[in-house]
Chain A
Amino acid sequence: MFLVRTLHKWFGLVLGLQFLIWALSGAVMALLDHHKVSGEHAVLPVAQLASGLNPAPLAAVEAAVGAPVTGLELKPLFDRWVYQAETPSGVRLLDAETTRRIEVDATAARTLAVARYAGAASVERVDLVTASTHETRDMALPVWRVGFADADHTALFVSRATGEVLGAKTDTWRLWDIAWMLHIMNYGDRQSFNHPLIVTVATGVTWLALSGLILLFRAFRPSDVAWIAAPFERLAARRRGRARVIGTPSAGE
Chain B
Amino acid sequence: MIRLPALARSTHKWLALFVGLQAVLWTAGGIYMTAVHIDIIHGDRLVKAAPQPALALTGLVEPAHLAHLPQGLKSARLETQLGRAVYVVDASGGKALFDARTGEKLSPLGKAGAEARAKALFAESGAIVSTEYLTKAPLEMQTRHVPVWRVEFEGAWRPTFYISPYTGELVTRRHDLWRLFDVVWMLHIMDYDDRQDVNNILLQGFTWLTVLGSATGGWLLLYSFRRRRRRRAA
Contact = CB atoms under 8 A, between A and B. Distances in A.
Contacts, number: 176
A57 B62 CA distance: 6
Interface in B165-210: 189, 198-200, 203-204, 207-208, 210
Contact of A30 (B64, B76, B198, B224): B198
B204 A27 contact: yes
B38 A193 contact: yes
A16 B221 contact: yes
A250 interface: no
Interface string B18-40: 00110110111011011111100
Contacts of B129: none
Contact of B34 (A55, A57, A59, A194): A194
Contacts of A58: 57-58, 60, 62-63
Interface stretch (A71-79, A112-120, A129-137, A236-244): A71-79
B13 A55 contact: no
B51 A70 contact: yes
Interface residues of A, number: 59
B218 interface: yes
B127 interface: no
Given A16-B214, A58-B57, A27 B207 contact: yes
Nearest to A55: B63
A220 B17 CA distance: 10
12 contacts: A23-B210, A51-B73, A55-B64, A71-B52, A71-B55, A76-B75, A202-B30, A202-B34, A206-B28, A209-B24, A219-B16, A224-B10
Interface of A: 9, 12-13, 16-17, 19-20, 22-24, 26-27, 29-34, 48, 51, 53-55, 57-59, 61-62, 68-76, 86, 88, 96, 192-195, 198-199, 202-203, 205-206, 208-210, 212-213, 216, 219-220, 224
